[in-house]
Structure 1
């Protein structure tokens, strides 16, 4: 791969982070739905998706703008998972990512700015 040593490894890790984590997250989501007898309903919602979020980069700034609402929701998801004796770490990690976008509340920003915000650790 052009660009120097480590580029191919970085690309592999970037894609693997999405591919493998999204599959683990899907399993946890189905386990939670199963706890409430809602697997078929979750599958129906999922079948309505025709593309991958990884391919929808224009959506990332929109997520950043809404993250102020979604971070607390992900903390609620973690609580529901804990009550169901399911792993909470993925939901907690999602909340942590979204909390890095706290300064983007309802703003129209560019993709590059949204990605840069992820490198900044929020003040506590």
Structure 2
């Protein structure tokens, strides 16, 4: 997952403060590629600055973790990153995600691919 403030995996603060409330459980963990907020073990309203990408369906997280959306393209790259060797829970060699953003899915018939979709 990502810890964008501390880069240690130990947490950090979001733009809303140390934690912020759950917004929606509309996106389900029904397939790989779900992008979601990491929280304090499923405790309500405990989202911080960490996120993760699901590598498989994780239905036990439905209504326990806030999913932001889905990876629309590039899951092969996500799997390659996940398969890298690790030292102290960090991939080796060092990997950086750069040049990422949103893909406009308008008119492609990909319902459920964006944030808030289910």
TM-score class, shorter-chain normalisation, is under 0.3
**TM-score computed with the length of structure 2 as normaliser:** 0.26
Answer 1 or 2: which has greater strand percent. Answer: 2
**TM-score computed with the length of structure 1 as normaliser:** 0.26
Answer 1 or 2: which has greater helix percent. Answer: 1
